[in-house]
Amino acid sequence: MFQLSKERRRLLKELEARTGVYFADEKLLNMALTHPTYVFEHRDVPHQHNQRLEFLGDAVLGMVVAEYLYKTHPKQPEGYLTKLRASLVCETALATYAKSHKIGGALLLGKGEEMSGGRERTSILADAYEAFVGAIYLDSGLVKAREFVIRDIKRFMSGEELWRHRDYKTLLQELVQKHYEANVTYSILQATGPDHDKRFVAGVFFKGRMLADGKGKSKKEAEQEAARVAFEQFSRKFMS
């Protein structure tokens, strides 16, 4: 039977203490923090990676945040709530939550990902946070998952973090619509590397012209980077 090492168990216990969330099933917690690159490089060990938990956690996050905003902003219209939710569950915000709990230090990564700074990579931390929430839901139920998520978003909303880490795709769309009443679109220009270690290049387009491109370890990350560059360009244009 597969057993976690003493060192691995120590790291997980420290994370539980930091988050205040304690797991009955430590293997579920371990799975939430196991990146696909680690499983790819350790096929002789029966680890499971966190992508399925990430899928579940994404749904739990969306529902919890939507419910929270619905109840705490009774006079705000749907459009406002949608944008605010996007800011709270975007990749950058999720990575910020993960960093606050030092989740990166407990991740199991492949050697290449480890050497390239994967523990601090926004996309990996965001995915791990979603997986962690999914694991809480399976291990302790919705009430505990809701408590954990709401505690994080309250802290995030209480300061300037929300505005410094808003979704650049949303910011860019708002800016373009304000001045042109038009939409921007995105396209993946390039995808390279093996399935477990992809690199993407995305372009953001306006009226058939590419405004900027961006690179990332995921399609979302590449699109966000392209949106960030374009947003900064548009901001300088309208502020000058």
- Given the residues 54, 127, 130, 213, the one annotated as active site: 130
Could you write out the three-class secondary structure of 129-167? Answer: HHHHHHHHHHHHCHHHHHHHHHHHHHHHHHCCHHHHCCC
Catalytic residue among 58, 127, 167, 221: 58
Q: What is the DSSP string of 18-43?
A: HHT---S-HHHHHHHTB-HHHHHH-T
3-state DSSP assignment of residue 194: coil
b/e per residue, 122-159, with b = 16+ CB within 10 A? bbbbbbbbbbbbbbbbbbbeeeebbebbeebbeebbee
Return all residues near 92 (Cβ < 8 A) that are at least 6 apart.
122, 126, 165, 166, 167, 224
Active site residue 58: yes
Amino acid letter, residue 193: G
Query: Would you name the residues annotated as active-site residues?
Result: 58, 130
